[in-house]
Each structure stands twice: as structure tokens, then as C-alpha cells.
Chain A
Amino acid sequence: MGILDHAFLKSLWVFHLATGSCNNCDIEILDCFTPRHDIERFGMQLTGSIKHADVLLVTGAVNRQCIPRLKRIYEQMPNPRLVVAIGECALSRGVFVHSYNCPLPLDHVIPVDVYIPGCPPRPEAIIAGLIKLIEQKKNPKDQPQA
């Protein structure tokens, strides 16, 4: 692992994107940053601009209006970039699977590195997922390929 990777994994900055969610997943993400869970322990910080972000946290069932914007935001992200799908909606569209406005699951639109299931996942689960992501990037051989 080079020095760049090392520095990269030490302080992941996350950008949070809601693409037609019910808000609960987004709140649980914010909850991770508040005193009880405090994900900043692991060097993660919420950033205001996608151009500063290392990780894109996507929630929601990716509706038609969001698909082009989601793609554009993903393209604006600097490399190396990671994408985390949070919540049942982002994984498989959850209860909205039959909706006329949610044509595709998230991983058909952009590549996804980690899936965190739950409706909404608990903040502990989100933290565990992000830590797994870091671990996997550190030792790519130890982990089963996702």
C-alpha cells in the first residue's frame, strides 16, 4: 500500500446524497456524526462539496429525476472514489420496487463498493460497513471479493 492509499484511508471524507429516500437513512447518517456514535473517531467527516469527497453515501430509491444528476455528481468526484449504498432503497428499492418513478436499482446506475442493508440501518451498522470498507481496501487479499 503506497503512501497515498495510506493517507486516503486514514481520513475518508464523505458526501451524502439522497436520491428519493424517506429521509430516515439520511438522518441515521447524520446520527453517525453526533456525540453518541461519533464516526469522526475514524477520521470521517461530512463535506459540503462533492469535489472534496472520497466516499459517496447514497440513500434512496434513485428516481427518474435523480438519475442524470446522480451520474453527474459521480463523474465530478475525484479519484480514488468509493460508493456506499445505504438502506434497502438504495440496495434494491425496498418498498418502492413497483413504483413507476424508480426504474433502476442504484448499482445499475453507478458502481457500488459496499452495501449496507436495513430500513433504516442503525448507525452502528453504517459505521461497521464503513470500517469494513477501509479494512478491505487495506488488505484486499484477506477479504472475499465483493
Chain B
Amino acid sequence: MPRTILPIGPYHPLQEEPEFFILTLEGETVVDIDLRIGYNHRGIEKLAERQAYDQITFVVERICGICSTSHPFAYTQAVEDLLSIEAPPRAQYIRTIVAEGERMHSHLLWLGLAGHFLGYNTIWMWCWKLREEILDVMEILSGNRNNYAMFKVGGVWRDIREEDIPVVMKKIDSIIPTLEKLHKAVMDDPVIHARTKGIGVLSKEAAIDYCTVGPTARASGVARDIRKDCPYGVYDQLEWNMIVTHNGDVFDKVAIRIGEMFESIKIIRTCLSQLPGGDIECLVKNIPPGEGIGHIEAPRGECFHYVRSDGTNRPVRHKIRAPTFMNLPTFKETVVGGAIPDAAIVLAAIDPCYCCTERISVRDTKGQTVYSGEDLIKLSQKKTEQIKADMGR
């Protein structure tokens, strides 16, 4: 069969960031994939070498806008390891809260984009609407929607005010019902099942061979989570579960991320309710020569920072390994052998619309509301049932 080459990118409407995939096709089947990156290279490791230790937190924050907590967290861990100090307990709690808030907004963002990729923009709109609530929480806690600027070697820059805690608690409580509704909608949806179950399977052996990290590994049954294996922050003092599934397909990756959001809510609530008093930073004197490592569980997996100092106010080497670096090569495993989806997108696109339900109401000519948001949700649930019945499930 003749082979066709299909380039995707570097500027593709579906992708957030520039990256370039080269798919080799035989008919509808993908037989090979190649990847070219570098469209986003900004030389951050080199930049870090010309900044003072306190400035680097702001540079590494801008490695990735979504993980703008994970990188400073790992970096401060590395410098604290080099200094052999530990941040005071209140700072540790605040760090944990911010990190979990970031995990929630990141997972919601991904879930929304996954819906967008399936041609299911409803999920996209819904997730991102919910994500705004979490960004509000982050704005109350840190003053910023993204790029929180909370982390500092030896502590945090900004304290959580007592009067903010009930407001945040209330916001988080209000998120739970919507999240549960979203969970049910995604887990029950026949179209999402059809589009994601058994698709892009990464076996446990392959997950280990490729050294995958984070939800990608946990979806394949590899129970690895830095928060459990090598606790940092206050994760070892809290009750929470690691979510692991075993199929390794796209559906499991969705399921893991939704499960983790509920765990994150649990962690934030516990942290806020038992936030200890005291200082939020400790005194940092000169940085001695030496080296330090820091690794934390970012929303996408293990994020690793290495810092080497020669006793001046700048590091001589700063090495960063982000989780996606480990997870990218699994494309070879998951994409090859699959088909380029087309008809299924059409099917997904006609599915019930949840996002409109929150914004519109249908009125008759006399100005009375005929359908409220709740009614429309019920209508679309009925439609989902109908589709399920039609598909024979």
C-alpha cells in the first residue's frame, strides 16, 4: 500500500503550542510518527545561570504557564536541599494548597481541551467555566490568576489571610456539585466511551520501558507518585489516595484526572482547616558551594530540578527535567496502529450541549421562561439516554 505523509503543525488550530508531528499513513492507519520540537525554546537553563537565586523562581515560573507552581516548587526544594534547610510548617501548608489548586486547574484545562479535540466543545466550555472558579480561588490566595509568584527560597512570599479562609472554603464547596455533574457526564457519555475506550493503549510494560511519569504511568497501572514515594510539602501528614487504573487507554487517563481533582479538593480543605500559625519564611544566609536536587509531582508527572552552586549568588548549573519530556516518546506506542478519526468526530459533535445550558434560557413570546438551565440539563440527559439506547448499550 502506498504511504502518505501527513504533517500536523507546527501551527495547527487544535494545538495550543507550536509543535510539529509527522505522521506516516497507510490508508487510514498510522504506521509511523515523528516529532520535531524547539518552537518554544527560550534557553531558560542558561538564563537561570545569570540570575540571582531569588530571581530564578520568577524565571522558572514562566517555563510553563500551567505548571507555574510546580517548577518554582521543585526549584526551591533543590536550593533548600543544597542549603539543608526546611521551610517552616505554615509555608509548607501554603505551598501544598497552591500546588493542589494548580493541579485542579490544570486537569480541568486538559479535560476541556480533550473535549475540544474530540470535537466535543461542550466539555471544553463547561470545564473552562468551572476552571474560572478555581482561578478565583487562586486569585484570593495569591493575588494572581496564573503565575502565582508565591514561592521563595526558604518559604513563601505571601501569607494566607485568616479572613480569606472561609471565602475560599465556600468557593471550593460550591465547585464540588458541578464537578460531580461533570464527572457523571463524562463517565456516562456513550460518545466519549466510543471515542476513548480502547484507544491509544499504553501497556504497563511499555509504560515502564518508556519511563513514563504522572497520570500517564498511573493510567497504565504503574503506581508511582512522588507525593507518596518521596513526600515533600505536607503530603505525608494528610489523608489522600493515589488513583491508579489499569487499561492505559485514553478513557483511563480521563478517569484518573477527574479522580485526582476530587483528591485535590480533599487536600485543600484539610490543609486550610489545619493551617498552623507561625512564620512563612526562614532566614536564608549565603548559599554555600554544593549541589541540590528537588523533585515534585506536577500535574503531568515528576518535575525535577538540579542546582549546583559555587558559593556566589548565582548557580553555575541549573538542570530541569519536565514531565512531558518523559511522556512524549510514548506516542510511538500509542499512535502507531490507530486510525485517523473522522466519522466519530461528527458523532461527538451532535451530542447534548451542556455549556449552553448555563447561559441561555428559552422564552416564549410573552417573556416567560419556558426552559431554565436545570430543564435543559434534564433534556440533554434524556438525549444522552436516547443515544445510549440507540447504540445498544
Residues of A participating in the B interface, judged by any CB pair closer than 8 Å: 17-28, 30-31, 34-36, 46-50, 60-61, 63, 65-66, 69, 73, 94-96, 98-102, 119-120, 122
Decide: A27 and B65 in contact? CB cutoff 8 A: yes
Decide: B64 and A23 in contact? CB cutoff 8 A: yes
State whether A49 and B132 are in contact (beta carbons under 8 Å apart), knowing that A23-B66, A27-B65, A66-B39 are contacts in the complex. no
Bitwise interface map of B from 62 to 76 toward A, beta carbon under 8 Å scored 1, else 0: 111110100000000
Chain B residues numbered 16-38 whose CB sits less than 8 Å from any CB in chain A: 16-18, 38
Cβ contacts under 8 Å, B125 to chain A: 34-35
Residues of B participating in the A interface, judged by any CB pair closer than 8 Å: 10-11, 13, 16-18, 38-44, 46-47, 50, 58-59, 62-66, 68, 109, 124-125, 128-129, 132, 145-147, 355, 358-359
Dominant secondary structure of chain A at its interface with chain B? loop
A69–B358 Cα gap in the complex (Å)? 40
State whether A34 and B128 are in contact (beta carbons under 8 Å apart), knowing that A22-B62, A22-B63, A101-B43 are contacts in the complex. yes
Decide: B42 and A63 in contact? CB cutoff 8 A: yes
Closest CB pairs A-B (n = 9):
A24-B65, A48-B13, A34-B128, A23-B65, A99-B43, A22-B62, A35-B129, A22-B65, A101-B43
Question: Which B residue sits closest to A64, measured CB to CB?
Answer: B41
6 residue pairs bridging A and B, Cβ less than 8 Å apart: A24-B147, A35-B129, A95-B62, A96-B47, A98-B47, A102-B42
Decide: A28 and B146 in contact? CB cutoff 8 A: yes
Decide: A94 and B62 in contact? CB cutoff 8 A: yes
A95–B66 Cα gap in the complex (Å)? 17
Question: Which B residue sits closest to A47, measured CB to CB?
Answer: B13
Distance of B321 from chain A, by nearest CB (Å)? 17
Decide: B13 and A25 in contact? CB cutoff 8 A: no
A105–B143 Cα gap in the complex (Å)? 28
Decide: B147 and A119 in contact? CB cutoff 8 A: yes
Distance of B62 from chain A, by nearest CB (Å)? 4
Decide: A101 and B147 in contact? CB cutoff 8 A: no
Question: Which B residue sits closest to A48, measured CB to CB?
Answer: B13
Cβ contacts under 8 Å, A73 to chain B: 11
A19–B109 Cα gap in the complex (Å)? 21
Distance of A125 from chain B, by nearest CB (Å)? 11
Distance of A119 from chain B, by nearest CB (Å)? 6
Q: A120 contacts which of B42, B43, B146, B359 (Cβ < 8 Å)?
A: B146
Question: Which A residue sits closest to B67, measured CB to CB?
Answer: A23
Question: Which B residue sits closest to A34, measured CB to CB?
Answer: B128
A63–B39 Cα gap in the complex (Å)? 7
Decide: B66 and A27 in contact? CB cutoff 8 A: yes
A22–B17 Cα gap in the complex (Å)? 9
Decide: B42 and A35 in contact? CB cutoff 8 A: no
Cβ contacts under 8 Å, A49 to chain B: 13
A31–B128 Cα gap in the complex (Å)? 7
Cβ contacts under 8 Å, A96 to chain B: 42-44, 47, 62
Distance of B107 from chain A, by nearest CB (Å)? 14
A28–B132 Cα gap in the complex (Å)? 11
A36–B47 Cα gap in the complex (Å)? 36
Decide: A101 and B66 in contact? CB cutoff 8 A: no
A19–B64 Cα gap in the complex (Å)? 14
